[in-house]
Amino acid sequence: MKQNFYLSILLVGTFFFASCDDDDDNNGSSTSNLTLNISGLEDLGDDYAYEGWIIVDGAPISAGIFNVDSSGNLSETSFELDTDDLNAATAYVLTIEPNPDSDSSPSDVHILAGDFSNNLASLTVDHPDAIGSDFTSAVGEYILATPTDDDDTNETSGIWCLNPNGGDPIAGLTLPTLPAGWTYEGWAVIDGNPITTGTFTNPDSADSGNPFSGTVNPAPNYPGEDFLQNAPDGVTFPADLLGRTVVISVEPVPDNSPAPFLLKPLAHEVPSDATSGSVLNMDNNAEETNPTGTASR
């Protein structure tokens, strides 16, 4: 009987010290949940993913990776983080990252951010740690014209983001300067196909190229395109733009898709009675296309 008593004491003591060793290994740390409620994001495909970051003492700490389906639903909304880190976080930042990602630091493509106030951070694109603008002040003017050829029968087959200004053209777009990781891109939606007019960062200069324009005359030194040659599959050029939709989007760099990204601050349906050279005004759709959300701890 006495032998069994001492054996029991020995087993209890062994369990006690083993438990103390486990606590020491964990350094007494605990975890808490960070919860996201975000709307307006899009499916990035297989090659990219969203990654959250909490900012602690000015440095980013990964706060989880997730995807978004075609309906905008997040694959995960709750993330387990170190309690001390989460309590000390001053801000939350959402980035777009390659998938898989060999770099443990955030990319330049910051899409949403917000400062914690108590236990809640309101996430917006205009936060300084995101894009820095909500694009609600963006303004777009354009004309229909095909200056790159000498054919005056296809003048509604080109779009140029300029204002003729009585013969001394000026930029037709007023847009905020973008941070690293972002660029603008123009589009014309022809027969349901979004076709790029080129990427640009400065609306007062030419865009990235004019693969569909003519070769007789130089293109204007502004974003735009004549849709005259080298038509993509499913589209016929020259393409009449009357009744078509034109768009200015904000695209991540590198780009996740050949289609327009979710940020489309300017868009317009070309009037069916529009005439060549007349200045047309785009609609500002920023409030409808900007994603928003919250991060709570």
Domain boundary residue, one of 132, 150, 182 = 132
Q: Are 47 and 171 within one domain?
A: no
pTM: 0.89
Q: Chunked in runs of 10, what are the mean pLDDT values of the chain (297 residues)?
A: 39 36 53 98 97 98 98 98 98 97 95 98 98 98 98 97 95 98 98 97 96 97 98 96 98 96 98 97 98 98
- Residue 19: per-residue pLDDT: 34
Q: Are 155 and 264 within one domain?
A: yes
- Residue 7: per-residue pLDDT: 38
- Residue 23: per-residue pLDDT: 34
**Burial level of 287, CB count in 10 A (0-12/13-18/19+)?**
exposed
Number of domains in the chain: 2
* Position 21 in a domain: no
- Residue 3: per-residue pLDDT: 43
- Residue 21: per-residue pLDDT: 36
State the greatest distance between any 2 C-alpha atoms of the chain, in Å, as a whole number.
Answer: 111
- Note down the domain range covering 272: 139-289
What is the separation of C-alpha 70 from the centre of its chain, rounded to a whole number of angstroms?
A: 15
- Residue 29: per-residue pLDDT: 81
* Position 1 in a domain: no
Domain boundary residue, one of 83, 108, 132 = 132
* Position 91 in a domain: yes
* Position 4 in a domain: no
Q: Are 47 and 86 within one domain?
A: yes
- Residue 27: per-residue pLDDT: 59
CATH code of the domain covering residue 201 = 2.60.40
Q: Are 164 and 258 within one domain?
A: yes
**Burial level of 257, CB count in 10 A (0-12/13-18/19+)?**
middle
C-alpha Rg value of the chain to the nearest Å: 27
Q: Are 114 and 171 within one domain?
A: no
CA dist 16 and 128 (Å) reads: 51
- Residue 25: per-residue pLDDT: 39
- Residue 10: per-residue pLDDT: 38
> SS3 of 3, please?
helix
Q: Are 143 and 78 within one domain?
A: no
Domain boundary residue, one of 132, 164, 182 = 132
Which residues does 57 contact at the CB level (< 8 Å), separation at least 6? Answer: 88
Q: Are 154 and 262 within one domain?
A: yes
